[in-house]
Structures are given as structure tokens and as C-alpha cells.
């Protein structure tokens, strides 16, 4: 093996900023309810990680979709910090192509694959330099990709289908992150909920446009729940977890990652009152969650850069689950507000939703057209997707690694 040369081959530029930027134009005038926030192991003040002077902005009001979107905070001053991430002694073949990556929400433990890929030089090996910015929900992330505000984003795969069909957002999924949907019902165990049908007669709480709430009818359909016997109470999605952890709500719909947040809050005051969960994926709701999404334009004009991102992210995901605490430490190196304990718990909670059997067999980030079709079917039946699209219009497998990346 040739001796590695000590060059700094990749740079990840980080700028910490809080929300409050004016929204940018939507893909179309269609508006929709606010969706719920993604779980985030971060400080109360949302942070942005981006290239200097380019703090992330919400792209538009999200359309109805199984994707989260927080309520932006009032405008406040912006603080900027820059960090250089040395690669693992990789010498670049030439100038690195800049790729702007947009997360779906706050930077958290789940951003680990991207930070690891930058720090270990996986992106530089492919000739790219990646900047990372926080997001405002999956619908917003997809629109940022469609309008060129980000080159590649993490966003909900079903949402990308919906926006392409209904708003002509010309985007495609290039690689899934969640092979299974992360929606769940969280509840206090003293509510005597053992099976999905035990939810009948209960009142659940969530934001009006929350992804898990919007998908609840689909979950009810496959799990044998009479949805007409389940009531919903609408709460501020940004306060949902805190209110639930305080014991003021008994049952909520959420992402399974939120279990990490609410456990820490609730058990700090009442450790004896245990919290349980019913995951949608465990009861037959077979569809994709989030994935990496880019525009048709990027695929046509910079396919090598997107392919390099996909491969680097897959390697970063592989390394994340080889040592989860170490992966979280990498995230905290650039986003110290991330709670280490919560972030580790989050990554463990989603492990089997990310490292699915088909991805273990075929390679991380590979797509299965059967599940992609099931995802589209759910979007059409429950999300108002106007018409079916050819699968070739919503994804491409051409940019996956030539050699599959496996754990």
C-alpha cells in the first residue's frame, strides 16, 4: 500500500446560526399546515451549520406530507464559527467540487454519517468538499434541492414524490437513509396500551401537520385500528415533546427518535412512570422514510459529485454504527450543543430502520423498487398525491457505489 500523504483534502465549513431567516420562494404557491419537528439532540436555540455567510433559510411553507417542519423562531443575531476538518491523509487529485448539503432539521446524532465522511476523507476521495446546513423540515429540504438552494438534502422520500407530482419539483431520490418509516405512537405505560387496537377510545396529541399524525390513518389501516374511534388533540409541534414529558399528555404520535428526548426529560422527574412505543414499521406500514435527494439538474450536470456524496455518506453510515459513541463525539466536535446521551440513544433507536435486511444484503443506500412503489401508494392514498409517477421519475440507482458499501 502506498504511503498516505499528509494533505488536508477536505474542508467542512461550519457556521452556527439560529433560525429567523426570511423564507425563499416556494416551488409553487400551494401552502399547507406546519409539520412537526424532527427529534433533535440540540440546545433550545436551533443551530445552523453552513458555509460562512450562507445560513440556511426555509425554502417555503411545506405542503402536506409525512415530513417535519418546525416553527421558525423570531429573527436574532447570527454567530459564525469556522472549522477545518482534516481528511485521513488523502491527497486531492485536483480542486474539490463544492457540494452544499442540507439536513432535514437540526444538527443531531443522525447527522453523524456526513461529518464522519468529511473528517475521514471519504468525500475528498471522490473530489468533493461538503458544507452542512440545518433544515426546516423535509418538505422545505426537498424544495431547497428543487430550487438550487442546496445541492443534496436529507428529506422524506414520499414527500419528494408528492412535490414532484403536485408541484413539479424536479427532484429524485439518489439513496435512502431510512429503509423503513420512523413514525411511532409514544405513550405512558399506565394507559394500558399493549397493541395498536388499544388506541381505540384514546385521545392522541400532535401538531396538525405532523408527519406521524398525517401517516396515522395509514398505520391504522394496516394495523387493524378503527381510526374513527381515535381522537386527536392539536398541540404546538415544537412543544409536543416537552408537554408529553411533563405528563400533561398521555399519548402522542412522534418519530421513534423522540423517545430519546422525552425519556430523558420525563425520567428526570418521574423515573417510575415508564414510556412505551408502537412503531408503525412493526405493524405493516412498509414504506421508506428519509433519504438523500437532489435535483434533476444536479444529476445531469454534476453526476460525479452526487455519486461521490452518496458513496461517502454510505461509508459514513457504516462507520457510525461500527462505534456509535465515537460517531456522536465527531458530531459534537462541530455541534457541541448536541446532547451526547440523547444522540447515542437516537442512533440506537433507529438502527434497524436504517440497517435494514435489504441494505445489509445489497449495500447501504441501495433502493428497492417494490418498497418505493409502496411508498408512492401510501402517498396517493393518504397524502393527496395527484397522480402516479413512473419510478424512474422519482429515483435513480445510477449514482450508487460501484462496489456496495456494507457494515
pLDDT at 398 over 80: yes
- At residue 405, the pLDDT reads 96
Per-residue pLDDT reduced to its tens digit, 245-286: 999 999 999 999 999 999 999 999 999 999 999 999 999 999
pLDDT at 81 over 50: no
What are φ and ψ of residue 116, in 5° steps? -65, -40
- Mean pLDDT confidence for 344-353: 96
Domain ranges of the chain: 1-180+289-407, 183-283
**What is the dotted CATH code of the domain comprising 183-283?**
3.40.190.10
Per-residue pLDDT reduced to its tens digit, 356-379: 999 999 999 999 999 999 999 999
pTM of the model: 0.77
Mean pLDDT of the chain: 81
- Mean pLDDT confidence for 144-165: 95
pLDDT band at residue 90 using 50, 70 and 90 as cut-offs: low
Map the chain to HEC letters: CCCCCCCCCCCCCCCCCCCCCCCCCCCCCCCCCCCCCCCCCCCCCCCCCCCCCCCCCCCCCCCCCCCCCCCCCCCCCCCCCCCCCCCCCCCCCCCCEEEEEECCCCCCHHHHHHHHHHHCCHHHHCCEEEEEECCCCHHHHHHHHHCCCCCEEEEEHHHHHHHHHHHCCCEEEEEECCCCCCEEEEEEHHHCCCCHHHHCCCEEEECCCCHHHHHHHHHHHHHCCCHHHCEEEECCCCCHHHHHHCCCCCEEEEECCHHHHHHHHHHCCCCCCCEEEEEHHHHCCCCCCEEEEEEHHHHHHCHHHHHHHHHHHHHHHHHHHHCHHHHHHHHHHHCCCCCHHHHHHHHHHCHHHHCCHHHHHHCCCCCCHHHHHHHHHHHHHHCCCCCCCCHHHHECCCCCCCCCCCC
Pick the CATH number of 1-180+289-407 from 3.40.190.10, 3.30.500.10, 3.40.50.300, 1.10.3720.10: 3.40.190.10
Tell me if 1-180+289-407 shares its fold with 183-283.
yes
Amino acid at each position: 500500500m502506498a504511503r498516505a500523504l499528509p494533505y488536508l483534502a477536505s474542508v467542512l465549513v461550519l457556521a452556527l446560526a439560529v433560525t429567523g431567516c426570511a423564507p425563499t420562494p416556494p416551488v409553487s404557491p400551494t401552502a399547507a399546515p406546519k409539520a412537526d419537528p424532527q427529534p433533535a439532540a440540540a440546545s433550545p436555540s436551533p443551530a445552523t451549520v453552513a458555509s460562512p455567510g450562507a445560513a440556511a433559510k426555509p425554502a417555503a411553507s411545506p405542503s402536506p406530507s409525512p415530513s417535519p417542519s418546525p416553527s421558525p423562531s423570531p429573527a436574532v443575531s447570527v454567530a459564525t464559527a469556522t472549522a477545518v476538518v482534516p481528511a485521513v491523509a488523502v491527497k486531492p487529485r485536483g480542486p474539490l467540487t463544492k457540494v452544499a448539503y442540507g439536513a432535514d432539521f437540526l444538527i443531531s446524532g443522525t447527522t453523524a454519517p456526513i461529518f464522519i465522511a468529511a473528517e475521514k476523507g471519504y468525500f475528498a476521495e471522490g473530489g468533493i468538499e461538503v458544507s452542512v446546513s440545518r433544515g426546516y423540515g423535509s418538505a422545505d429540504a426537498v424544495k431547497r434541492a428543487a430550487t438550487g438552494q442546496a445541492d443534496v438534502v436529507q428529506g422524506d422520500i414520499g414527500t419528494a414524490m408528492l412535490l414532484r407530482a403536485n408541484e413539479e419539483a424536479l427532484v429524485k431520490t439518489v439513496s435512502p437513509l431510512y429503509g423503513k418509516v420512523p413514525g411511532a405512537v409514544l405513550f405512558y405505560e399506565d394507559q394500558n396500551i399493549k397493541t395498536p387496537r388499544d388506541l381505540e377510545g384514546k385521545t392522541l396529541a400532535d401538531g396538525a401537520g405532523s408527519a406521524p399524525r398525517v401517516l396515522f390513518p395509514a398505520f391504522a389501516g394496516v394495523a387493524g385500528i378503527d381510526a374513527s374511534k381515535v381522537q386527536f388533540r392539536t398541540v404546538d409541534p415544537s412543544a409536543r415533546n416537552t408537554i408529553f414529558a411533563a405528563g400533561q399528555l398521555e399519548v402522542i404520535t412522534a418519530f421513534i427518535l423522540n423517545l430519546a428526548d422525552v425519556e430523558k426529560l420525563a425520567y428526570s422527574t418521574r423515573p417510575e412512570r415508564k414510556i412505551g412505543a408502537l412503531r408503525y414499521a412493526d405493524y405493516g406500514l412498509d414504506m421508506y422514510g428519509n433519504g438523500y435527494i437532489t435535483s434533476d439538474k444536479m444529476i445531469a450536470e454534476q453526476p460525479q459529485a452526487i455519486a461521490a456524496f452518496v458513496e461517502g455518506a454510505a461509508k459514513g453510515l457504516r462507520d457510525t454504527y461500527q462505534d456509535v459513541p465515537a460517531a456522536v463525539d465527531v458530531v459534537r466536535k462541530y455541534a457541541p450543543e448536541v446532547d451526547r446521551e440523547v444522540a447515542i440513544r437516537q442512533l440506537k433507536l433507529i438502527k434497524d430502520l436504517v440497517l435494514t435486511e435489504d441494505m445489509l444484503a445489497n449495500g447501504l443506500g441501495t433502493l428497492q423498487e417494490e418498497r418505493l412503489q409502496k411508498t408512492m401508494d401510501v402517498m396517493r392514498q393518504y397524502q393527496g398525491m395527484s397522480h402516479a409517477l413512473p419510478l424512474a421519475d422519482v429515483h435513480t440507482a445510477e449514482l450508487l457505489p460501484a462496489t456496495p458499501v456494507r457494515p
